[in-house]
Structure 1
């Protein structure tokens, strides 16, 4: 089923294909595969941008590895072949840069994101804020603390003075969202963009403490990228007006 986000992106991305200077200016010779490691919360937007990039670069295939930013950073440190890394927080990107995979100063913040409480659309739990998540008997899932969405959840809960005992701690935000979608949890802390991507199945509840835990998303071409020309082009697309429009349509905030 096509989500509202996908429909919005479908309206935005043709601009990138109709003589878009940002994509045209990033053309690389020949074909090949561009490998992009990206935070799970970027799945829908980057998948659509990847299709636009492929259309502007005949013979090029964009292959994505989506997951928790900390897991992706570890894979890069262990030598996994990648051309581009987009993380859900600057701390994770700093670790990758500190390991020598990204040249100092090359990473650029391209979007911001904040948390909401995700509830099953047909659920009966009356949750209006973070304090409600601490009610006895409520099954709540969050991201693990080492994952950016988990670190953000910790900050928000601390700001609200809420001590939470989650039913589970997941390795990326999509795993949290899935448990809420399937009714395996009464509530979960996910990014606003994730709740929007599943609007037909979950509803997102905003809470004021999310302002204390906004995540900046940086992107960079990796120093040892097998396709540096294509990597630089994809980074330009993400940071272009077309990329920003797609991200905002998906619920991200401009940096």
Structure 2
């Protein structure tokens, strides 16, 4: 009798629980997971924008891989599963376009930035220009690895324009992205470094010694492009367009980015 009751109870429990499990699985399977590869300098602002987007689109979950644009481009070339690419380098975007890995018709420019020369707080070496980097007491200069880190490429263009790049080569300490360059300066391990203005604003341990003129390097533009292999082109494009929305642009502005036009 007890055995019969136990079997009946187990059967009824199974009947009740199965629909709940099935319902949860169904709800989870309906959630679309987008993967974005984005320039490291976007970290704080993009995380905030994603939070807003996900609240407005509960059926979409976004994960982000931050890094140097060149390194992220190589990952896509090697088959990484990415839905949307957000580089700060037209060269990396055009490379993927030429390889048919992103669709040129599915891309936008959504922000601009400014290159700055930063020094540890206090600026004890009194660095006020690019030429000051040639001073004998300036021993180490942090710069993004070339060519994988766009900030390093922009810095190289600028230093070449004023004719001192080759003179400074022995002083360079290379960072894997602008976040690492910022950390080198913030900790005082180097005397100066090149980052974007938005990165400098995140640290209380550095001072902007010089704002690099736009005229001596290519425009610093942020791009968004849907990756050709994505399974979710509609949702990827929806988030790409959201980057141009008033809400997103206000956040970018809050973090020091300039509008795309």
User: Are the aligned partners of 1:159 and 1:209 in contact in 2 as well (CA < 8 Å)?
Assistant: no
User: Are the aligned partners of 1:82 and 1:226 in contact in 2 as well (CA < 8 Å)?
Assistant: no
Match for residue 20 of structure 1? none
Match for residue 5 of structure 2? none
Moved more, 171-180 or 105-114: 105-114
Q: Larger Cα Rg: Structure 1 or Structure 2?
A: 2
Instruction: Output aligned runs, 1:141-180, within 5 Å.
Output: 141-146=142-147, 147-163=149-165, 164-165=168-169, 166-180=171-185
Moved more, 85-94 or 95-104: 95-104
Match for residue 85 of structure 2? 85
Match for residue 242 of structure 1? 247
User: Are the aligned partners of 1:69 and 1:87 in contact in 2 as well (CA < 8 Å)?
Assistant: yes
**3-state DSSP of counterpart to 1:104:** strand
| CA deviation string 1:211-230 (max 9, x = no partner) | 42231211111121132232
Instruction: Output aligned runs, 1:2-21, within 5 Å.
Output: none
Give, in whole Å, the separation in 1 of the partners of 2:212 and 2:34.
39
Match for residue 6 of structure 2? none
Task: Tell me the matched-pair count.
Answer: 226
Structure 2: tracts of 5 or more residues without a match: 1-28
Structure 1: tracts of 5 or more residues without a match: 1-28
Give, in whole Å, the separation in 1 of the partners of 2:84 and 2:54.
15
Structure 1's 208 and 69: CA in aligned 2 closer, same or farther, altered over 3 A? closer
Give, in whole Å, the separation in 2 of the partners of 1:125 and 1:215.
28
**3-state DSSP of counterpart to 2:117:** strand
Q: Let me know the Cα RMSD of the aligned residues.
A: 1.8
State the TM-score, normalizing by the size of structure 2.
0.81
Aligned partner of 1:203 among 207, 220, 241: 207
Match for residue 54 of structure 2? 54
The offset of 1:210, in angstroms, is 4.0
